[in-house]
């Protein structure tokens, strides 16, 4: 795993490269085009500065590359030599880092949930309590399913992740990348304001 400072520096370099390329692709941009350029360049830089095995980064790159010709050119320019970041995401994602540990974690989660369910069924004896428990379990499952689907829509490539553990790992990594992106942008803004004041 990269250090946060080197990751931020790589993000900044890739972002500036993307901004320069966008500037050369189109000379006179409107305000909305500039906003779009900044966002697309920042997203690409963020995705490229992450580990290649992350599904969300590959999905984000693929989404940007498929938008239009300029986005595709920008993507190829920013990625450059890192062409091993693939654009096609047809298979469901499985973590290459340690798939056996994910299986073990999933088994542990399943075993602990089974133990909880056994304990609950032992303590609940009457029929009325069982119906209430079953209804509460059903409601809880529906809420978890709704939240899982929302999370899959928020994280790029989330719809390709069937495993809950992988989805959570990818989400945490995505959040960390967004934080780094915001910190770099805030520092740039502060620096530019200080330069204007001097």
What pLDDT is recorded for position 110? 62
Q: Which single residue is written with the structure tokens 């502060």?
A: 190
Query: What is the distance of C-alpha 147 from the center of its chain?
Result: 16
Q: Is 37 exposed, middle or buried (0-12, 13-18, 19+ CB in 10 A)?
A: buried
Q: Decide if pLDDT at 177 tops 60.
A: yes
pLDDT in tens, 82-124: 445 444 443 434 444 444 455 556 566 666 666 666 665 555 5
Q: Hey, what are 172's tokens?
A: 């945490």
Mean pLDDT value across residues 146-168: 89
Q: Taking each helix axis from N to C terminus, what angle separates 55-65 and 69-79, rounded to the nearest 10 degrees? A: 140
pLDDT over 90 for what percent of the chain? 10
What pLDDT is recorded for position 87? 46
Instruction: Provide the whole-model pTM.
Output: 0.68
What pLDDT is recorded for position 120? 58
φ, ψ for residue 89, nearest 5 deg: -125, 70
Q: Hey, what are 32's tokens?
A: 């909305």
What pLDDT is recorded for position 92? 39
């Amino acid at each position: 795993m990269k250090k946060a400072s080197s990751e931020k520096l790589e993000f900044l370099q890739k972002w500036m490269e993307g901004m320069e390329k966008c500037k050369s692709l189109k000379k006179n941009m409107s305000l909305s085009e500039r906003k779009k350029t900044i966002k697309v360049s920042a997203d690409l830089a963020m995705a490229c500065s992450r580990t290649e095995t992350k599904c969300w980064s590959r999905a984000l790159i693929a989404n940007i590359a498929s938008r239009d010709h300029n986005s595709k050119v920008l993507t190829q320019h920013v990625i450059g030599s890192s062409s091993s970041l693939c654009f096609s995401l047809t298979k469901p994602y499985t973590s290459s880092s340690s798939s056996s540990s994910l299986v073990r974690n999933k088994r542990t989660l399943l075993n602990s949930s089974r133990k909880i369910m056994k304990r609950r069924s032992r303590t609940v004896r009457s029929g009325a309590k069982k119906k209430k428990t079953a209804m509460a379990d059903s409601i809880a499952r529906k809420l978890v399913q709704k939240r899982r689907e929302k999370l899959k829509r928020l994280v790029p490539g989330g719809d390709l992740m069937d495993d809950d553990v992988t989805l959570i790992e990818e989400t945490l990594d995505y959040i960390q990348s967004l934080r780094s992106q915001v910190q770099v942008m805030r520092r740039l803004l502060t620096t530019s304001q200080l330069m204007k004041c001097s």
